[in-house]
Amino acid sequence: MKTRIVVMWLQLLLAALPLGAAFGQGADVPTAVSPTMLKQVDHEAETTLLRLYRQSPKAQALVGRSFGVLVVPALHADGGILGVAYGRGVLIDAVGDRSYYNFIASPPGSVLGLDGKALILFFTAYESLRAFEAAPGWVEGENGSIQILDDTFMASQRSTAIQPIAGFILAEEGLAGGLSLKGSLFIKVPIYLCAADAASCR
């Protein structure tokens, strides 16, 4: 019940966010999306993964062994009244199927620290991926936890266990640490492709 309330509240916040930074989304209503927009989101995700792999070959190996990867290429923070960080991304599973998500973080998450960064999650357990995909809204700390791997962790020679859901916060200078995703929400966006010139097309 608590998770559902959080999801509903954050969905209301999504409605107030600028278009282009997140998918427009109504409750359980498929969103009309142009092929051009999806191509842009996919391209941004692929570019972000290449940046990650250039910075950390170890990260590339971890993602390559995973059951799926969720890429949010650009996080935007609103330090004003809304006090949230948000973005849109794509989840790519091991066979290449794609689904699209809105991400929104609010206090107690490190909202301003996320601005201008990218988020990449990967799933080391199939059950965790399936549970994430099945949830109408997945809240960090309520539905599960995300292990953030930074430069220090990746440079360590020790064999440290990777959690079922882990990820990277990618900054220009490397893999950021000291940031929290607690309370962050991931909402799957049901979409359908529309003609680019249609009035309902985003």
Q: What is the pTM of this model?
A: 0.84
Phi/psi at 127 (nearest 5 deg)?
A: -60, -40
Asked, as a colleague might, if the bond just before 108 is cis with ω within 30 of 0, I would say yes
Average pLDDT over every residue of 154-165:
84
For residue 72, list its beta bridge partners: 119
Residue 170 confidence (pLDDT): 96
Q: Where are the beta strands (DSSP E) in the chain?
A: 31-33, 68-72, 76-78, 84-93, 98-105, 118-123, 137-139, 147-148, 165-171, 174-175, 185-188, 191-193
Owner of token pair 């991926």: 129
Domain spans of the chain?
Answer: 2-193
SS3 state of residue 29: strand
Element (H, E) at 172: none
SS3 state of residue 3: helix
Instruction: Look at residue 200 and tell me whether its pLDDT is greater than 60.
Output: no
* Alpha carbons 75 and 86: distance in angstroms, whole number: 6
* Alpha carbons 5 and 36: distance in angstroms, whole number: 33
Residue 29 confidence (pLDDT): 66
pLDDT grade, residue 27 (50/70/90)?
very low
Tens of pLDDT along 133-147? 999 889 999 999 999
Highest mean pLDDT among 60-69, 149-158, 190-199: 60-69
Residue 201 confidence (pLDDT): 63
Instruction: Look at residue 16 and tell me whether its pLDDT is greater than 50.
Output: no
* Alpha carbons 153 and 139: distance in angstroms, whole number: 24
Residue 106 confidence (pLDDT): 75
